[in-house]
Structure 1
């Protein structure tokens, strides 16, 4: 059985994102935490939100310096995802409580890969949770 999963992603300048997968009453959740920032900003995503973020990372990589429309995830774990170019490229996630979570561009590639793995684990938690409900 898959338990909680935690990985740290660190770039060459010391920026750090901790990505975790955990089970809740309804299935799997993906958590992102900036362990390198004061207050350790954190955002929680369901599998849908994590998939949107993963796809948005790829879109941001392909957009170059062009603008990219924001994405809004609704549901139990709503989040808005935006691309900022200034002062340096970063993704900004804003949750329902208006808490902001920044992901600098040097972390995008590894986060993209880890999100794909995390979503697979979250989906498995969802599947196992659904089996227990029947």
Structure 2
């Protein structure tokens, strides 16, 4: 993420005096912003996997660690929600066509958050019985 963000800053610092420089700078900015959005998109895939695993573990896991399962899902939810913000800020500077590749990831984030929230509620219910 840090390297991708550094590339965005470097692209914005490219010269822009001539039309050729402006075109090259624009292409560099677009490429850097796309890469900067791809990094948190990869985090979303990992968060999705963690929530899936936590959901599988809850009914079969040791009752003494049920809160650890919930905490893992909550951390994954946070990672997905944070990734949503990072993707949004990078895509906001792109034209609609360039940012379109992230539409499925943004939908996936909503699903991960909803599943993590449901699992959180299930964990609370399990420990308050």
- Normalised by the shorter chain, which TM-score bucket? 0.3 to 0.5
Please give the TM-score of this superposition, normalised by the length of structure 1.
0.36
User: Comparing both chains, which one has the higher relative contact order based on Cα–Cα distances under 8 Å and sequence gaps of 6 or more?
Assistant: 2
